[in-house]
Amino acid sequence: MATDRPLTAKGLATRARIVAAAADLVFHRGAAQVALADVQAAADVSGSQLYHYFTDRDDLLRAVAVHRAAELVANQGPVDTLPALRAWVEANIALIAADNAAGGCRLGSLVPQLAETDPQTRATLSTAFHDWIAHLAAGLTTMTATGVLPPTADPHRLATLLVAALEGGILLAQAQRDITPMRTALEAALDHIASLATSP
């Protein structure tokens, strides 16, 4: 933040509006195509307002990554039964299908775009993925406790497969402008987890 003073409620709202506008532009155009002037116009703020909240463009892109990570945490539902896991898959497919995979993953597409140029953003994305995998692993651990999965199942390994299949599936869907590879990859990952299940 460009100011050390605590923000007022109005200030926080303005800052959030700028970040949301920037995140939307980055999603639809790619980060490289987003200038501060575009964000100013989209958020309906002046340049001096923008610089009041962000030191520069990199600082704003950092806030976009934090915003996408927070969004992910806010949308984490239960994943501790096989039906809940299937619902998680369907919700993610519906989200990406809404844009026919254009723009890719709101969080994952930031990795190739921003991770190499900004270590702080890379750390934000790394933590977000770490927490996402941990959330899924916790659900799968519950499934071993409730006997849905056998004690030999490795929750962290299965959770990593799920997130990788999701991110890789979205990448393929974005390239092909077709949601099918995302669905196929995630259903294959679910096949694997279901095949480990000890009871119908």
- Least separation in angstroms between CB 6 and its own copies: 31
Span near its own copies by CB under 8 A; candidates 2-10, 51-59, 85-93, 113-121 = 113-121
Question: Residue 156's Cα: distance from chain center in Å?
Answer: 19
- Least separation in angstroms between CB 22 and its own copies: 15
Q: By CB under 8 A, is residue 181 in contact with its own copies?
A: yes
Q: By CB under 8 A, is residue 85 in contact with its own copies?
A: no
Among 5, 74, 191, 200, binds its own copies (CB under 8 A): 191
CA dihedral 25, 26, 27, 30 (to 10 degrees): 120
**Nearer Cβ to its own copies (7/115):** 115
Q: Tell me the C-alpha distance between 41 and 71, whole Å.
A: 23
Backbone angles phi, psi at 54, to 5 degrees: -135, 135
- Least separation in angstroms between CB 162 and its own copies: 9
Contact 134, 72 (CB under 8 A): no
**Nearer Cβ to its own copies (63/128):** 128
Q: By CB under 8 A, is residue 3 in contact with its own copies?
A: no
Q: Tell me the C-alpha distance between 80 and 153, whole Å.
A: 14
Contact track, its own copies, 117-156, x by CB under 8 A = x----x--xx--xx--x----------------------x
Residue with tokens 């959770």: 159
40-78: burial string, b at 16+ Cβ within 10 Å, e else = bebbebeeebbbbbbeeeeebbbbbbbbbbeebeeeeee
- CA nearest 155: which of 163, 92, 108? 163
Site size toward its own copies (CB under 8 A) is 53
Sites of contact with its own copies (CB under 8 A): 28-33, 102-104, 108-117, 122, 125-126, 129-130, 133, 156-158, 160-161, 163-169, 171-172, 174-177, 181-182, 184-185, 187-189, 191-192, 195
